[in-house]
Each structure stands twice: as structure tokens, then as C-alpha cells.
């Protein structure tokens, strides 16, 4: 089985057309680098280019109307908002392996993106609502961890991890947490602890929830003052809130947890109410999640590992091809991210967790090659479950 996978992968990857240019960003200006910060690098990138970011600290950037992928070589931290707008329907944007720190603005702001946006294995934090998605047709998060900002002043409300309007969003693994509410101020009358933020607030949006953890923030603690009386603890945030025409399908296996209410104080002060796991129209598919992981970027002429995480007795079909807009397929219990696979491998039945070696071919003279990888698991009971899609970049 491993030999077939390796040979087939080699034949496929050597036949793929390379994208355009590889742009290397290194804050230290090391050998082979083109830029020392991301705004200039992204401004110079054309559609189809790949921006490889070496370890270091960088500035957030804006990308409007172009297909550009930004990937950390190992670990890269960005300060300030990353803004992605006006992606055409045939466009693709990928952010992979980045830590985005929005500060006083959102870490990631997506607007009017008709094409596919993939945020893979990223960490996103800010002091406000951390991720904003508005009027986007295909936004996917894979194994990413998002935290909303906490209230810093007395009685301030915590912020949400994700806020989405009029969009299609799919989440696979990771977590989305609301920020904590600020504590009450014993010197201010009638200023209770702040409410915890929601893990996500979704309005007029379809959400596929592939087993992430949705976690509401803690309510801010109350206070007892001998002269002013009690300020109550704030309510905990909700894990997931749906409003308007929003609907969500939860695959199963993740958590929907409301945040605890803030503590009261003294003998008589009231603590805040616990948040709800979800509010609104959430349907449950009742399937345990299945996962596919692949390391990226990888070097040509090496061996990489593809890992499948399922249940004992599962078989899988592993598809490799071009990344496209996500489509929810009810019969496959997931979102298809590779509309036209170039190659499909059969694996299994498996004991559950399987690691598959794959030989990485020589890609010379291409500067890099990119593919998308996704698995369809066939369970022992006859059900079908799609994994999230993963991006694989091959460097020479």
C-alpha cells in the first residue's frame, strides 16, 4: 500500500504545473530573501505567487483582488490586521502556520471574497472581535485557534472569536473562544461584571462545524462594597450564537461550551449566569470527526508523511488536486474542497491512525509546486465522512 501511494504521488506531483513566483520574506534579510517585511512582499506579489515567511516578527498586510498564498516556513508572528478583500470566484488565498496578533484591531478581516480562502494551522488573537468574515462564499479554517479579546476595563464585555455575516464558513478542528468580561468596579455604582464574549456570532450565514471547540468567555467577577452594595458577576459568553437566517451543522466530537458566570462576592452578591453552549438553529450529524494531516512546506527529493486519524475499520480515499471553493455535501458529512481531484488513493481498512510515507519528487525547474489533499473516510458501519482539506507546498 505504501509503495503504491509513494509512486502515484510522485507521478502526480511531477505532472502539476507550477505556480508563478516564490517570494521569500526574512526579517533578518538572510540569503535568498526578497523582502524583510510582509506588506511590501504582498504588494509585489501577482496572482498565483507564493510568499514563504521565515521565522521572525512581521507586520500585517492587505490583499485585494489577488490569489496569493502566505505560508510560514516554521514560525512567523504578524502584528496588525491582515485584510483580505474582493477575491474573484476562481481565486484562492491560503494562510498557513502564522500567528496573527491583531492588537486593537481584528487579527483577520475578510470581505467580499467569492473564491476559496483557507486558514490552516494558524493562531489568531486580538483585543477585539478577532476574525471578521463578511459576504464571503467559501472560508475554511483547519486546525486553527482563535481567541476574542477580553474586557480590560471595569464591566467591559468580552469580544467574540469569530463574527460572520452573509457567508459560507467551514471549520475543521481547532477552537474558537470568546474573551472574558471585565470585573466590576467597587468604586462605581451599578457597574456589574462584564459579559463573557461568544466563541462565535454567526448571522445570515451557513456554518459547517467539523468538530472544533466553541467556548464562551468567562463573565467578569462582581464585587461587594459596604457603602454601595453589590455589583453582580457578569454572565458567561455562549459557545456559538446564530442570528437571522443563520444555520449550522455540527459534525460531532467537538465541544459547545458556555462560559461560567462571574463570581459574586461576600455573603449576598449574585454570581453571573453560565452561558449556553449554543443559541439558535444548530443541527447535529452525529459523526465522529476524521482528520488528515500533512506537513508543509516540504523539500523535493525527500519523504513526507501523510497521517489519517479515523476509527478502527475505516477505509479512506485520499484525493489530491487543486484547491477550490468548498461545497457542503450532506451524503459525505462534510465540505468538499477539491472539486476535481487529479488522483485518488485507496487506503485501508485501517486500525484507526495510519501514517503513510510519500516520496516527494524533484520539481526542477519549478520554483515550487502546490497541491491540496483531502480524505473521504468510509466507516465500518457504511457512513462517509470528509476530512478537512490541507495544503501541501513543495520547495526545490
Compute the residue count for the chain. Answer: 396
pTM, whole model, 2 decimals?
Answer: 0.93
Cβ–Cβ under 8 Å, residues 108 and 63: no
**How far is it, in rounded angstroms, from Cα 181 to Cα 172?**
27
Q: Is residue 258 part of a domain?
A: yes
Total domains in the chain come to 2
Q: Which of 284, 299, 325 is the last residue of a domain?
A: 284
3-state secondary structure of 321: strand
Per-residue burial over 347-362, b = 16 or more CB atoms within 10 Å of its CB, e = otherwise: bbebeeebebebbbbe
Q: Is residue 26 part of a domain?
A: yes
**Residue carrying the nine cell digits 515567511:** 53
Selection from 317, 306, 311, 313 nearest residue 355 by Cα:
306
Q: Which of 284, 307, 340 is the last residue of a domain?
A: 284
Q: Which of 284, 305, 334 is the last residue of a domain?
A: 284
Question: Residue 4 — left, alpha, or beta (φ > 0 → left; ψ -120 to 50 → alpha)?
Answer: alpha
Query: pLDDT 10s digit of each residue in the chain, 396 long?
Result: 344 344 344 444 444 545 589 999 999 999 999 999 999 999 999 999 999 999 999 999 999 999 999 999 999 999 999 999 999 999 999 999 999 999 999 999 999 999 999 999 999 999 999 999 999 999 999 999 999 999 988 889 999 999 999 999 999 999 999 999 999 887 766 688 999 999 999 999 999 999 999 999 999 998 887 677 788 899 999 999 999 999 999 988 889 999 999 998 766 788 899 999 999 989 999 898 999 999 999 998 898 889 999 999 999 999 999 999 999 999 999 999 999 898 888 988 888 898 888 888 888 788 888 999 999 999 999 999 999 999 999 998
User: DSSP code of 15?
Assistant: H
Residues 146 and 248 in one domain: yes
- What's residue 8's pLDDT? 44
DSSP 40-93: HHHHHPPTT-EEEE-SEEEE--EEES---EEEEEEEEEEES-EEEE---TT-EE
Q: Is residue 101 part of a domain?
A: yes
- What's residue 154's pLDDT? 85
DSSP 10-24: HHHHHHSPP-S-EEE
Residue 81: how many other CB atoms lie within 10 Å? 22
What are residue 335's phi and psi, to 5 degrees?
-115, 120
Q: Residue 278 sits in which domain range?
A: 19-284
- What's residue 360's pLDDT? 84
Amino acid at each position: 500500500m505504501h509503495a503504491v501511494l509513494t509512486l502515484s504521488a510522485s507521478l502526480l506531483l511531477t505532472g502539476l504545473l507550477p505556480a508563478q513566483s516564490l517570494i521569500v520574506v526574512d526579517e533578518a534579510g538572510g540569503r535568498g530573501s526578497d523582502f524583510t517585511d510582509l506588506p511590501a512582499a504582498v504588494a509585489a506579489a501577482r496572482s498565483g505567487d507564493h510568499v514563504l515567511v521565515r521565522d521572525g516578527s512581521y507586520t500585517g498586510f492587505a490583499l485585494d483582488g489577488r490569489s496569493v498564498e502566505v505560508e510560514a516556513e516554521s514560525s512567523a508572528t504578524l502584528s496588525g490586521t491582515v485584510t483580505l478583500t474582493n477575491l474573484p470566484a476562481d481565486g484562492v488565498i491560503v494562510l498557513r502556520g502564522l500567528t496573527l496578533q491583531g492588537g486593537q484591531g481584528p487579527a483577520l478581516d475578510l470581505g467580499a471574497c467569492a473564491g476559496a480562502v483557507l486558514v490552516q494551522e494558524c493562531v489568531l488573537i486580538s483585543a477585539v472581535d478577532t476574525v471578521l468574515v463578511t459576504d464571503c462564499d467559501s472560508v475554511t479554517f483547519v486546525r486553527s485557534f482563535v481567541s476574542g479579546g477580553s474586557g480590560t476595563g471595569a464591566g467591559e464585555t468580552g469580544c467574540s472569536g469569530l463574527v460572520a455575516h452573509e457567508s459560507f464558513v467551514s471549520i475543521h478542528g481547532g477552537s474558537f473562544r470568546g474573551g472574558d468580561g471585565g470585573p466590576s468596579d467597587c468604586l462605581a455604582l451599578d457597574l456589574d461584571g462584564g459579559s463573557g464574549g461568544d466563541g462565535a456570532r454567526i448571522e445570515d450565514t451557513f456554518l459547517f462545524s467539523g468538530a472544533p471547540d466553541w467556548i464562551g468567555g468567562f463573565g467578569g467577577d462582581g464585587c461587594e462594597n459596604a457603602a454601595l452594595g453589590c455589583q453582580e458577576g457578569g454572565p458567561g459568553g455562549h459557545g456559538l450564537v446564530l442570528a437571522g437566517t443563520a444555520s449550522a451543522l455540527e459534525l460531532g466530537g467537538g465541544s459547545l461550551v458556555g462560559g461560567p458566570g462571574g463570581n459574586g462576592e461576600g455573603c449576598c452578591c449574585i454570581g453571573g449566569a453560565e452561558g449556553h453552549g449554543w443559541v439558535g438553529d444548530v443541527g447535529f450529524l452525529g459523526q465522529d470527526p476524521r482528520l488528515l494531516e500533512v506537513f508543509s512546506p516540504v523539500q523535493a527529493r525527500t519523504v513526507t508523511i501523510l497521517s489519517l486519524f479515523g476509527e478502527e475499520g475505516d477505509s479512506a480515499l485520499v484525493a489530491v488536486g487543486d484547491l477550490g471553493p468548498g461545497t457542503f455535501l450532506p451524503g459525505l458529512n462534510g465540505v468538499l474542497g477539491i472539486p476535481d481531484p487529479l488522483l485518488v488513493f485507496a487506503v485501508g481498512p485501517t486500525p484507526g491512525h495510519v501514517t503513510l510515507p510519500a516520496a516527494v519528487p524533484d520539481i526542477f525547474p519549478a520554483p515550487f509546486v502546490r497541491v491540496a489533499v483531502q480524505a473521504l473516510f468510509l466507516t465500518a458501519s457504511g457512513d462517509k465522512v470528509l476530512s478537512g482539506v490541507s495544503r501541501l507546498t513543495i520547495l526545490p
